[in-house]
Amino acid sequence: MTGPGTGSTGTADRAAGDGSGASAGVPDSIAAAWGVRERPHKGPKPALSLARIVDAAVRIADTEGLDAVSMGRVAAELGAAPMSLYRHVSAKEELLRLMVDTAWGDSPGPLAPGESWRAGLSRWAWAMRAGVRRHPWVVRIPISGLPVMPREIAWFEDALACMGGTGLTEARKASVIMLLSGYVRNLATTEADIAAAVQASGLAPDEWMASYPRMLSRLTDPQRFPALAAFIAAGVFDVYDDPDDEFIFGLNRILDGVAVLVRA
């Protein structure tokens, strides 16, 4: 998965320690997230902080869209000169990765006492879905690598811990995490695309949905497409369903499959 932190959070600071020499050979964006990148300039402590810069970028993405995020726009949001941001963030690509880590939020935590692996992974997937709903733009940023940012690692740890008693190999645990996170991301992207199409149509969601079978009925021959005719007659598209219905269905099927693997 890709996901969650600004690097100036308490979690990152505790994980990083004092940062002495810890950033050697680590890309700047990752070192910055973990709080181990030394400040490159001497002199007075700058007025800006990495946390403020990332928070401002997230606010802009939430209110104006991801395309509005630029170093100049973030600087304007903070009332600072654009060049002052480069003391903390080397490029927009680094800023985007920090934004992604922040957007997912804190990890949902490992298994609670008495909680099953299935309940834990379900809670993990729902928490990831909640993160996408808070910041829908997060799934529009391409995955740039394996989990390595502070919150990404916390989410990875919790998912692994949920499967600690399943008997699955570590490789299979990674496969389950990739399957679950990919499912959440893919469905969120599809839902966002459908929502954009509904908005562009100018119709209410139910009207937009109902227009689809009516159009198909005019375009298709029931003799050529009998299965589709039966599908249309069943009224599947007559009402715009709660998006959570599809999420629950898919999530349960994935976890059913994992259960088969665990039993095997």
Contact 154, 3 (CB under 8 A): no
pLDDT value, residue 195: 87
Averaged pLDDT, groups of 10, the chain, 264 residues long: 40 39 64 68 66 94 95 94 88 90 91 95 96 93 85 95 96 96 94 90 90 91 94 85 90 97 93
Sign for the CA dihedral angle at 28, 30, 31, 33 comes to: positive
Whole-number Å distance between alpha carbons of 49 and 45: 9
What is the spatial distance between Cα 40 and Cα 89, in angstroms, rounded to a whole number? Answer: 11
What secondary structure letter does DSSP report for 22?
Answer: T
Q: Are 26 and 35 in contact (CB under 8 A)?
A: no
User: By the 8 A CB rule, do 117 and 111 touch?
Assistant: yes
Q: Residue 146's pLDDT is what?
A: 83
Q: Each residue of 143-182: b (16+ CB within 10 Å) or e? A: eeeebbbbbbbbbbebbbbbbeebebeeeebbebbeebbe
* Token couple for 41: 């300039």
Instruction: Quote the pLDDT of residue 50.
Output: 86
Question: What pLDDT sits at residue 181?
Answer: 95
pTM: predicted TM-score of the whole model, two decimal places: 0.82
Confidence at residue 14, expressed as pLDDT on a 0 to 100 scale: 34
